[in-house]
Amino acid sequence: MNKNEDLTKQIKLMSPEEMKSLASEIKKDMIETVSNTGGHLASSLGAVELTIAIYHVFDSPKDKIVWDVGHQCYASKMLTGRWDKMDTLRQYGGISGFPKRHESVHDADDPGHSGTSISIAYGYAKARDLSGDDYSCVAVIGDGSLTAGVSMEALDAAGDCRTPFIVILNDNRMSISKSTGSFSKHLQKLRTSNLYKNFKTNLKRVYSPKGVHRLSVIRDKLKYSLLPKSIFEELGFKYYGPVDGHDIESLTNVLRFVKSLDQPVLVHVITQKGNGFAPAMEDPTKFHGVGKYDPVSGDTPSADEKSWSDTFGEILVELASKDPDICAITAAMGESTGLAEFAKAYPDRFFDVGIAEQHAAAFAEGLALNGKKPVVAIYSTFLQRAYDQILSEICLQDLPVIFAVDRAGVTGRDGETHQGIYDIAYLYSMPGMTIMNPRDRGTMENMFRLALELKTPVAVRYPKNCPGTYPVPAGNGSPQIIREGSDVLIISDANMLSECIKCAGELETKVIEGWKPLSYAVCDIGILKPLDLEFIDRALTLYKYVVTVEDGTADGGFGQRVSAYAAQTGKGKVLNIGWPDAFIEHGSISELRAAYKMDSRGIAERIISFIGGRS
């Protein structure tokens, strides 16, 4: 088998035993490869047999296979001509960790966030019908993603319209954290109906697959006498399952049958996250998105420092110990956002709402309206899904809701859909919103205390890595000079502070077009919104040049507000530095900063060009 080639045609000719052997080989290589690249291992391991069965039954790329989010897509990449490129997975210039149409004709969509695959596959199916074409449209979605409101909206619309297409529910009882909510409990009832499972097993033993299908009417009548009707059938989908997602023969039989049906179908597949690698099966949350690890033991390098997420979690537990009104909300990411200890300490005040960011924000609104102090911990890239609730409900009513905006700024290897570079711009547009950006643990603690005192909407944003250390006392949100200088002031958000300090040191050794070496000061802006206009006015008066640097898009960032004030007052010369108006690809944070001139050297080059052009 040539791993450089598209293997989808070969899979169609394989026996069940050959496909089982292929699954073992894929898992072995995946475990070894991801141990070096990092990535979404547990989800992809759990979907290997399902992926093989899909390519055995369906005629991709003619048939459209839409993977929700793409956490489970590694086996698909390996089978569609990218197996030999897996060592470049999530590396700068290498293949993405998610489906990408530019990589393969088998990738039907560039997925963004959870829950959209049903809508997209349904759109494909309607377009097919309008064009008079004939092919299958398949959405592969995890049970965690079904908690997203857009999934429910899609099921409601598609079931009513009766357009033939297939939803494969990959049910591993997990999202990133353990699945929660009444829908998860409904799936559990479907999984554990032993009477129905025994009936199906006996039916399968006695009859051939065709015979089983002829008895589908009898089976359905018996099914409804044995367990409650599934919610999917109430929504207009024909429901088949549960099916063992690691039994390739059962999977191919069911998928082959549902492919022939002329109506919306949902196939409920039970898989085990991390299947084939004991450490990932034991701790699927850890191996959902994992860095480098030992491919035998699963051991990961111990962290020398606490991450921003862990630091936030510790601070919130401490604050909550003195204030019984503080509540914590997350959207299926309790561990990832640092809230695991809070959940243990205050289970009645911890709320994991599932992958439902809109609900998280609206739920926080209700808590705030009734006197509680909700803190909503969500990654920057996912928070944008709650834009309407934050703007039109929380900010409109000036409610005391605090957003802990994790993974703010460029996050690295997950690429375009996960870079947190838009939150400053979209939160800045909201009247009444305060935006803070701490540089160290002490400043973060002070900012959360201030946020609680303000009793208005506040976003505290912080990056993926670890808090810094600086030779000045912890800040309280006011602009703070970190490095003294007299000619040029670099005003930075906390994320970019270390790059700016290094940049200032490099610049003081350079002569710019005949000028004597200039002296560069660096300031931590602290609170990004509202700007301290008195400080900005003094800076524009005292310094020859002012440069703003932020780990967000330059368009719509705080720097543009500084430039606008300078233009209004006729004071100073201002350069704004931030990420460009573009989607930033995957790579390490340092590689991406270097590529986009957002590292110390690149910032220095941009400042030299700016000052040199004005000297």
pLDDT of residue 224: 42
Average pLDDT for 493-518: 87
Average pLDDT for 180-209: 49
What is the C-alpha separation between 321 and 326, in angstroms, rounded?
9
Confidence of residue 329 (pLDDT cuts 50, 70, 90): very high
For residues 546 and 540, the answer to whether their CB atoms sit within 8 Å is: yes
Q: Tell me: domain 308-461, CATH 3.40.50.970, correct?
A: yes
Position 552, amino acid: G
Confidence of residue 204 (pLDDT cuts 50, 70, 90): very low
What is the C-alpha separation between 556 and 598, in angstroms, rounded?
17
Confidence of residue 182 (pLDDT cuts 50, 70, 90): low
For residues 576 and 548, the answer to whether their CB atoms sit within 8 Å is: yes
Query: pLDDT of 15-30, one tens digit each?
Result: 999 999 999 999 999 9
DSSP string for 168-220 = EEEE-SBSSSB--SHHHHHHHHHHT-HHHHHHHHHHHHHS-HHHHHHTHHHHH
Say which residue the tokens 């990004």 belong to: 528
For residues 237 and 265, the answer to whether their CB atoms sit within 8 Å is: yes
What is the C-alpha separation between 494 and 514, in angstroms, rounded?
33
320 φ, ψ to 5°? -70, -25
SS3 at position 267: strand
β partners of residue 376:
329, 403
pLDDT at 174 over 90: no
pLDDT at 190 over 80: no
Mean pLDDT of the residues in the chain = 90
pLDDT at 218 over 80: no
Share of the chain above pLDDT 90, in %: 81
Residues designated catalytic: 273, 357, 385
Share of the chain above pLDDT 70, in %: 90
- Strands ordered across the beta sheet of 166-171: 64-67, 137-142, 166-171, 265-270, 238-244
pLDDT of residue 540: 98
R_g of the chain computed on alpha carbons: 27
Model confidence, pTM: 0.89
pLDDT at 538 over 90: yes
Annotation: CATH topology of 480-612: Rossmann fold (3.40.50)
Q: Where in the chain is the domain with CATH 3.40.50.920?
A: 480-612
pLDDT of residue 208: 46
User: Looking at per-residue confidence, does 4 or 46 come out higher?
Assistant: 46
For residues 280 and 43, the answer to whether their CB atoms sit within 8 Å is: no
Annotation: CATH topology of 8-282: Rossmann fold (3.40.50)
Average pLDDT for 391-417: 97
User: Looking at per-residue confidence, does 358 or 217 come out higher?
Assistant: 358
* Least confident segment among 199-203, 299-303, 337-341: 199-203
Query: pLDDT of 287-302, one tens digit each?
Result: 988 999 999 999 999 8
Average pLDDT for 201-207: 42
Strands 326-330 and 166-171: unpaired
Q: Where in the chain is the domain with CATH 3.40.50.970?
A: 8-282, 308-461
pLDDT at 221 over 50: no
